[in-house]
A and B are shown apart, each in its own frame.
Chain A
């Protein structure tokens, strides 16, 4: 017979795999983040693109350099460093000096991600952890360029940019922002971090991710609904609905709910766990916004929930196939009686 000397491979079943892998998933996330970048460039000019590009380049560089220096396998091909780079840029003000961004990239990629073993091993979101770290430069981190204030689109000089308050700042004083309407806020004509301004662009990206089945709606919906319900019930003296809408469309909550809280490595893997985690993020966000001294609570809320993920996963193990309530009760009763018997034996 022909091909008799062919070399056959053997392995354990199954022998098929889906085409979707880490890199295709990350690519989808990158695509989903593009609308937000487009809006950001429109609002803040070319500097938005420069900040993002620098962040991506240095994220990838640090990932490559770390793995190279420690003689580990090359992982920049999975595109996860690009996602981290974009996300870090998105949660910084557009006026952030580039060297600070490089410091942030180093912290995100080397300290938070690679030191714990690389992709999937980090227990907090690298971009958010880096953002928290960069608050060592508080002035830089709370200087907000006024939307559409650039003289020329290609203007990259941020030192004399016009600055203004963000809607969140007035929200934290229980006052609705003045001078802009909700529609403008929804499409992104507000001050804030680069990528968080346009709820519309972020929702567009989120819908893309859900259609592509990269994420399930569980975490974003649980998160946003919790924020919506809490702000609706406690409007701090304003119209319930309008107050709720301002809280959803301003600040980082949309970016956080859709792109940060859904980060695989730092969110629960069980369906019930994902809902609990989303609700937790929403509660903490509103608590920090209402009672904290800093107007925004999204990043800290997610970071705090990140460190609870192991516990949530453990507590929300799916009920195994064929296991009924009666069996559970019988097992509990058996354990109890065993314990009692052991106690008696000891006594």
Chain B
């Protein structure tokens, strides 16, 4: 229960808004918009044409690059268009638009794989790949790629159920409502990696979920070991989680596998379990629609490709003083300006903030309080980077190891002078990376 990683901050948790709201199923919309980029990595290649009929769970875009994940139709219906549409990341992305026929005809490729996995745990990697599962905690890194990069190198499997971002309760609800499914997924991964146990990390602000899981995990030395960590942001950041569980530090520019660790989100485990038991690929997910700017906050099971507008409508709409709509949590989420952008596989939250949460000022001023240095989990000097970024001193930015930044946002959060430090660091990283690419 102690503080085990560097720095960190403790923002207002805000989880009470939705932590007691059971997951409601949001009916599929009349039209879904499925971008060919639902993950971190290269875009997929569409394998359907305009006018084609597609079934629920049918492969509609195939991963061609090494880091990518297959994309499946989240409804049954007709492909209405394949054209660039606005993505939550702010770019125009090739998007497969499907008119829903409201039949939810399940594709014939959706068949259980339980027997295969029981016969050979190694078959799981291929099933995960074909189901297009990505890291469901928000980062959306293709899970199959993660498995392959870690196989044979790791001695520690960590399940990330920290859900350290304020307001989000999607992971909390899935652990509370379907704990067996989550734990079953964890067991499959543990068997795949041929390890004796997995460490399951939850933050201590999710008492209900912890108690529920403990009902199913009685043995403290069994194949799943639940660890309760003190709530501190960014507990759920991969490097920080590894540090707090194993005391190992992922080297700069390295991967978790370099220190013998692999980390999966608890919701990813749930998705893996479903892909094995029913064959259903990643076509929906639980999204917390919450925040002070939402009339009736709640948790919803939503099809991938549903426009954000539908979620907000389901939750009673925006309040009059709503100011920002975020996809993701308040610390790392993306502010969107068009409510028609679709939910993607990594969308764990639609958060609406009001003008009351906005504490930015017109003329921010560094008072050198040093709080950013104390809060930085990567042990950088964020305030100093800010000043050198403004001076465009790229050589100095490299010396300050700006590319180590995980963009958790602690520095901006804690800044007494109200500087946008994280934003500056992101720009600095882009400049340093561009320079490296040139060389």
Contact = CB atoms under 8 A, between A and B. Distances in A.
Partners in one complex: yes
B250 A322 contact: yes
Contact of B416 (A3, A6, A20, A318): A20
Given A10-B335, A319-B379, A16 B251 contact: no
B325 A21 contact: no
| A13, A15, A320 interface centre (most CB from chain B within 10 Å) | A15
Nearest to A73: B363
Nearest to A122: B368
A317 B330 CA distance: 29
B314 to A, nearest CB: 11
Contact of A11 (B11, B317, B332, B335): B335
A276 to B, nearest CB: 14
Given A8-B324, A8-B337, A10-B336, A18 B9 contact: yes
B323 interface: yes
Given A3-B318, A3-B320, A120-B365, A13 B360 contact: no
B331 A11 contact: no
Interface in B374-399: 374, 377-381, 383-384
A318 B379 contact: yes
Interface string A221-251: 0000000000000000000000000000000
Contact of A269 (B254, B317, B324, B383): B383
Nearest to B374: A271
A76 interface: no
A22 B404 CA distance: 28
B91 interface: no
A17 interface: yes
Interface string B343-369: 000000001010001111011011111
Given A13-B407, A16-B413, A17-B359, A119 B365 contact: yes
Interface string B290-329: 0000000000000000000100110001101011111010
B335 A15 contact: yes
A291 interface: no
Contacts of B320: 3
A324 B252 CA distance: 10
Interface string B103-122: 00000000000000000000
A264 interface: yes
B324 A322 contact: no
B413 A18 contact: yes
A154 interface: no
B362 A73 contact: yes
A69 interface: no
Contacts of A264: 367-370
A151 interface: no
A303 B314 CA distance: 62
Interface string B211-239: 00000000000000000000000000001
B143 interface: no
A313 B417 CA distance: 19
| B6, B166, B251, B407 interface centre (most CB from chain A within 10 Å) | B251
Contact of A3 (B317, B368, B381, B415): B317
Chain A facing B: main interface SS? loop
A118 interface: yes
B333 A322 contact: no
Chain B facing A: main interface SS? loop
A22 B379 contact: no
A216 B366 CA distance: 18
Contacts of B250: 321-322
Contact of B325 (A8, A269, A320): A8
B409 A13 contact: yes
B249 A321 contact: yes
A12 interface: yes
Contact of A120 (B249, B332, B367): B367
Contacts of B330: 13-16
A308 B335 CA distance: 42
B417 A1 contact: no
Given A8-B323, A10-B337, A321 B239 contact: yes
Contacts of B336: 8, 10
A168 to B, nearest CB: 31
B423 interface: yes
Contact of A320 (B351, B366, B404): B404
Given A269-B381, A321-B239, A13 B251 contact: no
B331 A16 contact: yes
A17 B336 CA distance: 19
A17 B323 CA distance: 15
A270 interface: yes
B86 to A, nearest CB: 13
A322 B11 contact: no
B252 A322 contact: yes
B317 A15 contact: no
B15 interface: no
B422 A14 contact: yes
Interface in A195-209: none
A302 to B, nearest CB: 15
| A269, A271, A313 interface centre (most CB from chain B within 10 Å) | A269
B134 interface: no
A6 B381 CA distance: 38
Interface of A: 1-3, 6, 8-22, 25, 73, 75, 78, 80, 118-120, 216, 264-265, 267-271, 274, 313, 317-324, 327
Interface of B: 6, 9, 11-12, 166, 239, 243, 249-252, 254, 309, 312-313, 317-318, 320, 322-326, 328, 330-337, 339, 351, 353, 357-360, 362-363, 365-370, 373-374, 377-381, 383-384, 400-401, 404, 407-410, 412-418, 420, 422-423, 426
13 contacts: A3-B318, A10-B324, A11-B360, A12-B335, A13-B326, A13-B328, A13-B331, A20-B416, A73-B362, A264-B368, A269-B369, A274-B370, A322-B250
- Shortest 9 CB-CB contacts between residues of A and residues of B: A14-B409, A269-B370, A12-B423, A10-B335, A322-B249, A17-B359, A120-B367, A14-B331, A318-B379
Given A1-B313, A269-B370, 6 more contacts: A14-B412, A15-B326, A16-B353, A17-B415, A268-B370, A274-B370
